[in-house]
């Protein structure tokens, strides 16, 4: 019985351990840099270590080889015997070497060939050297001639490229096209701080107003559920900037919805200009004035905070 109880106890402990392992969350191991696993990094480190070890072994092998050779066949001692001094001309003969790239490029001659370059005539005992023109200068000189021939054929004979006046016309046309694209984008980016009074937008603004605003403000802006838009009194400012802002963000506390997601900024600017054009139209059955009287300012109108309480 004791053995059976012990087996049951051990099986219970093992089951609990397995359950705890299953419930344990896996630990997130951060990935190593360079996109390599830990094993790959270790393999690369071992390869680098093996290469360094191989180079060290080669150097040691050569050093031991020289030492062994010297031990087997030692070099006999030789007494130093100074060489006899040479005169300047014999010393120059021993220094003859092939000219380098710099000497060839500049057409430099060695000093021992100076006598071959002396011009026969002399002035007051002064001789001149007939130094040749450097090769780089000749290459540049003849290269300009070849370039000139190719330039004349490309631009003036074959007319493959544009001349200066043609390039000017092309650049001006490109600038005009870029300006047109920029202005088209600028129109679409109008907001409450950049909107201006523009009479050309009134016609389209009327169409947008009739399609979206007459349910609250009436067909002529006389006001129904919403306020009268034709008088001098405004709840949230009467400038073009204030009107644009009110249409764009709305006044949810008073039932005015935001049209920012339903209309483009161009449509909002058009509606704002149409509402400005309704000032003083005095339609029939106009709603009573609401808000404060708006007086146009000479400077830029200050946008009113729509969250401020109205009296």
Could you tell me the mean pLDDT of each successive run of 10 residues in the chain, 311 residues long? Answer: 47 48 45 62 90 94 90 83 80 70 76 78 83 85 95 90 90 91 73 87 92 90 90 90 92 89 88 91 88 71 44 34
Does any domain span residue 189?
A: no
Three-state DSSP class for residue 154: helix
Closest CA to 249 of 257, 238, 239: 257
- Determine the pLDDT at residue 150: 94
- Determine the pLDDT at residue 255: 86
Does any domain span residue 259?
A: yes
Does any domain span residue 274?
A: yes
Structural domain including 271 reads 199-293
Distance, C-alpha 202 to centroid of its chain: 41
What's the CA gap between 291 and 289, in Å, rounded? 7
- Determine the pLDDT at residue 128: 85
What's the CA gap between 307 and 295, in Å, rounded? 21
Q: Residue with structure tokens 């909002």? A: 268
- Determine the pLDDT at residue 87: 81
CATH number for the domain spanning 227: value is 1.10.760.10
Contacts 24+ apart (CB under 8 A), 255-261: 255/216, 255/225, 255/226, 256/216, 256/226, 259/212
- Determine the pLDDT at residue 299: 39
Does any domain span residue 80?
A: no
- Determine the pLDDT at residue 22: 46
DSSP letter for 291, please: S
Does any domain span residue 282?
A: yes
Does any domain span residue 66?
A: no
Distance, C-alpha 165 to centroid of its chain: 33
Does any domain span residue 21?
A: no
Q: Which residues pair with 256 in a beta bridge?
A: 251
Q: How many domains does the chain have?
A: 1
- Determine the pLDDT at residue 36: 65
Does any domain span residue 64?
A: no
């Amino acid at each position: 019985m004791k053995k059976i109880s012990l087996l049951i106890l051990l099986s219970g402990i093992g089951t609990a351990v397995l359950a705890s392992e299953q419930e344990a969350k896996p630990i997130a191991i951060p990935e190593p840099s360079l996109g390599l696993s830990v094993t790959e990094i270790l393999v690369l480190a071992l390869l680098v270590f093996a290469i360094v070890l191989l180079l060290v072994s080669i150097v040691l092998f050569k050093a031991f080889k020289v030492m062994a050779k010297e031990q087997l066949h030692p070099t006999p001692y030789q007494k130093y015997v100074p060489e006899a001094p040479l005169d300047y001309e014999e010393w120059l003969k021993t220094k003859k070497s092939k000219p380098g790239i710099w000497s060839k490029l500049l057409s430099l001659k060695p000093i021992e060939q100076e006598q071959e370059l002396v011009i026969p005539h002399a002035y007051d005992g002064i001789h001149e050297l007939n130094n040749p023109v450097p090769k780089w200068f000749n290459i540049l000189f003849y290269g300009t001639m070849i370039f000139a021939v190719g330039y004349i054929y490309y631009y003036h004979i074959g007319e493959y490229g544009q001349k200066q006046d043609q390039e000017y016309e092309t650049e001006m046309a490109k600038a005009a096209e870029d300006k047109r694209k920029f202005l088209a984008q600028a129109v679409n980016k109008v907001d409450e701080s950049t909107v201006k009074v523009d009479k050309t937008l009134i016609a389209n603004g009327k169409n947008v107003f009739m399609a979206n605003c007459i349910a609250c403000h009436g067909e002529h802006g006389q006001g129904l559920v919403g306020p009268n838009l034709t008088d001098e009194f405004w709840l949230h400012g009467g400038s073009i900037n204030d009107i644009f802002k009110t249409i764009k963000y709305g006044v949810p506390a008073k039932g005015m919805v935001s049209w920012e997601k339903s209309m483009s900024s161009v449509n909002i600017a058009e509606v704002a200009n149409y509402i400005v054009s309704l000032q003083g139209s005095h339609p029939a059955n106009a709603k009573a004035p609401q808000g404060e009287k708006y007086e146009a300012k000479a400077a830029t109108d200050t946008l009113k905070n729509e969250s401020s309480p109205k009296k």
